[in-house]
């Protein structure tokens, strides 16, 4: 039924099927990729029906599609239907199984769908494959987790409402209200768990584990620090916790959430256990390290400890476990604690060098900013992107365009290289996105504008408020090669992040982890690219629907996927 490729990638083996199937494991999600085996699909091919069966389950559930074929009079069907009736007209799809944490095999069945001249559907030979998803990336060693970042989505509207009144019942209007705001939405618990996804769950569980281990000492370095679920847990740690909180810009203003958090933790832990810091610019870390007899774990990444960090922004977090793995975090925390905002002093410590995390079978390293002249990272990363990328590059980078230079130039160069598949999102200006599309072109969009006035059959979505929405900072190089690698952390790939701010930066050379970050990049890219299509349809006063088989000289929905060089590479790369 399937062929495993290192467990995290599996392929269908039905020789009778007209297409190939490949499943890629993500974090609470997976990428489903298909490709036609020979020649071109027939004109009556209208997409793929996708179904899955949970571990131990006795039935298949069909994935749903919000787009449908038009009915009589070319009217839009407003109903969300099974993909066996409204097939997916793409050669890849990211799916979130509703119970992704179940142990055992998930079975996916993908079926080609055809339509005759009377609009009647028929079905071809399917492909099937089994894959294990499980919660932890590498159990007991390393786990990657993401926030959902989908407050502006049809899924959010369906579950929790799309009007501003619904948002006001879930989220504080201002960051400074974070520690006093009380949600009144009837589905608050479910909504926060859904929005925070695995990243929130992992962070809160680590704090719960630290509370349960009376020998555990905890160090936290926080940029944004105003999420009550975290603060409540930190209070329970008493004097076993020390916290470093950023005091730059708005964070030091009277009434800020960070000032409130300092006062609260100052009482529970003791004021000597709370320190304010901004290093050479910002103390921009989002770091937790727990060192006890039972619990030895550390977290880094881009997820701020705030309402927006957990529930609005697209973010990631990485947790490592074991005495060797957490030592660089323990040392980095102590070097921050002893430092009085001198970037040059910190840059001379061993924490500013690259440290091996000592994980079994995983090539993972970490370094902490600010770096000194002898251990800067930005140029090394730019050189890797420019000189060593051979197949593909994916990125989600907040703030890339704030620092013109070699890395930005490397991405521009890569985008024009037809041999390399490149796509991603970075900021073009505050509140806007710059898309590097697989066709090598860029497009600037405003996420807030994409949420409003979308055409049938879609509903308007909440904007999620002002400020950065896509907050990731990662680059994935050659995920499909043995050399697949990821750069990630709180590090913004800028001169300020390199030599001024307090930051964490992971360098991980591992295909399972590279695949997980690739899928995250694809799902965020597809999410916002589809909103661009919605906006274009709205402007042109068109309706969004599935394409029927073409008549005469019309094109089939799939023709560009076989004619455009970039789309050909897209189709072939994943499947």
The token pair that represents 79 in the structure block: 């109903």
pLDDT category at 402 given cuts 50, 70, 90 is low
Q: Of 424 and 303, which is predicted with more confidence?
A: 303
Span 561-568, mean pLDDT? 90
Q: Give the separation between CA 435 and CA 426, rounded to whole angstroms.
A: 7
Q: What is the pLDDT of residue 544?
A: 84
Lowest mean pLDDT among 59-63, 132-136, 138-142, 501-505: 132-136
Q: Say if residue 402 is preceded by a cis peptide, omega within 30 of 0.
A: no
Over residues 194-224, the pLDDT tens digits come to: 999 999 999 999 999 999 999 999 999 999 9
Q: What is the pLDDT of residue 418?
A: 79
pLDDT of residue 29 exceeding 90, the answer is yes
pLDDT category at 431 given cuts 50, 70, 90 is very low
Find tokens 């300020």 and name the residue: 496
- DSSP lists the bridge partners of residue 433 as 427, 445
Q: What is the pLDDT of residue 25?
A: 97
Q: Of 347, 364, 346, 348, which Cα lies nearest the Cα of 356?
A: 364
Q: Of 209 and 540, which is predicted with more confidence?
A: 209
Q: Residue 143: which H helix or E strand, with range?
A: strand 142-146
The token pair that represents 267 in the structure block: 């009482």
Asked if residue 151 lies in contact with residue 447, where contact means CB atoms within 8 angstroms, the answer is no
How many other C-beta atoms lie within 10 A of the C-beta of residue 89? 18
Q: What is the pLDDT of residue 422?
A: 86
Span 100-111, mean pLDDT? 96
Q: Give the separation between CA 188 and CA 82, rounded to whole angstroms.
A: 29
Q: Of 275, 99, 289, 272, which Cα lies nearest the Cα of 206?
A: 289
Q: At what angle do helices 378-388 and 406-415 cross, to 10 degrees?
A: 20
pLDDT of residue 135 exceeding 90, the answer is no
pLDDT category at 185 given cuts 50, 70, 90 is very high
The token pair that represents 84 in the structure block: 């066996």
Find the distance separating the first CA and the last CA of the chain, reported in whole Å. Answer: 16
Q: Of 148 and 449, which is predicted with more confidence?
A: 148
Q: What is the pLDDT of residue 453?
A: 56
Model confidence, pTM: 0.94
Q: Of 187, 168, 190, which Cα lies nearest the Cα of 464?
A: 168
How many other C-beta atoms lie within 10 A of the C-beta of residue 59? 7
pLDDT of residue 432 exceeding 60, the answer is no
Q: What is the pLDDT of residue 528?
A: 79
Counting every residue, how long is the chain? 575
**With DSSP H G I counted as helix, E B as strand and the rest as coil, what are the percentages for the chain, rounded to 5?**
30, 25, 40
Q: Of 31, 10, 1, which Cα lies nearest the Cα of 132?
A: 10
pLDDT of residue 342 exceeding 80, the answer is yes
């Amino acid at each position: 039924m399937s062929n495993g490729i290192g467990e995290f990638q599996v392929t269908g083996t039905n020789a009778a099927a007209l297409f190939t199937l490949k499943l890629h494991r993500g974090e609470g999600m997976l990428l489903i990729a298909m490709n036609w085996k020979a020649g071109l699909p027939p004109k009556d091919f209208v997409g793929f029906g996708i179904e899955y069966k949970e571990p131990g389950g006795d039935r298949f559930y069909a994935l749903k599609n919000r787009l449908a074929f038009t009915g009589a009079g070319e009217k839009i069907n407003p109903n969300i239907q099974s993909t066996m009736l409204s097939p997916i007209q793409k050669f890849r799809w990211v799916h979130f199984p509703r119970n992704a944490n179940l142990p055992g095999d998930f079975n996916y069945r993908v079926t080609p769908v055809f339509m005759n001249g009377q609009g009647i559907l028929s079905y071809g030979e399917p492909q099937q494959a089994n894959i294990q998803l499980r919660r932890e990336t590498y159990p007991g060693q390393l786990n990657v987790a993401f926030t959902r970042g989908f407050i502006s989505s049809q899924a959010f509207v369906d579950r929790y409402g799309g009007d501003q009144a619904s948002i006001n019942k879930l989220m504080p209007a201002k960051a400074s209200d974070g520690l006093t705001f009380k949600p009144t939405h009837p589905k608050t618990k479910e909504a926060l768990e859904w929005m925070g996804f695995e990243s929130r769950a992992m962070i809160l569980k680590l704090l719960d584990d630290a509370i349960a281990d009376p020998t555990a000492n905890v160090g936290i370095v926080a940029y944004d620090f105003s999420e009550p679920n975290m603060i409540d847990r930190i209070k329970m740690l008493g004097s076993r916790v020390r916290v470093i909180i950023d005091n730059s810009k708005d964070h030091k203003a009277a009434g800020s959430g960070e000032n409130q958090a300092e006062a609260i933790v100052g009482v529970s832990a003791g004021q000597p256990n709370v320190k304010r810091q901004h290093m050479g610019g910002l103390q921009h870390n989002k770091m937790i390290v727990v060192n006890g007899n039972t619990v030895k774990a550390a977290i880094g990444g881009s997820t701020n400890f705030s309402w927006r960090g957990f529930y609005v922004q697209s973010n990631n977090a990485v947790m490592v476990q074991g005495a060797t793995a957490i030592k660089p975090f323990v040392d980095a925390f102590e070097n921050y604690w002893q430092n009085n905002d001198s970037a040059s002093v910190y840059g001379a410590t061993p924490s500013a060098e690259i440290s091996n995390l000592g994980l079994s079978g995983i090539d993972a390293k970490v370094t902490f900013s600010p770096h000194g002249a002898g251990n800067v990272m930005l140029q090394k990363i730019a050189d890797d992107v420019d000189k060593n990328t051979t197949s593909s590059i994916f990125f989600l980078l907040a703030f890339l365009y704030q620092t013109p230079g070699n890395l930005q130039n490397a991405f521009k160069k890569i985008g024009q290289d037809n041999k390399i598949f490149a796509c991603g999102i970075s900021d073009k200006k505050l509140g806007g996105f710059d898309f590097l599309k697989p066709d090598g072109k860029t497009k600037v969009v405003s996420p807030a504008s994409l949420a409003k006035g979308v055409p049938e059959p879609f509903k308007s979505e909440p904007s999620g408020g002002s400020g950065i929405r896509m907050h990731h900072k990662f680059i994935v190089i050659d995920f499909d090669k043995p050399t697949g690698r990821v750069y990630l952390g709180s590090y913004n790939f800028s001169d300020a992040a390199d030599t001024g701010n307090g930051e964490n930066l992971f360098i991980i050379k591992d295909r399972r982890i590279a695949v997980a970050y690739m899928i995250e990049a694809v799902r965020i890219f597809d999410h916002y690219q589809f909103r661009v299509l919605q906006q274009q349809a709205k402007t042109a006063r068109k309706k969004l629907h599935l394409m029927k088989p073409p008549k005469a000289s019309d094109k089939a929905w799939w023709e560009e996927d076989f004619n455009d060089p970039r789309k050909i590479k897209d189709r072939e790369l994943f499947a």
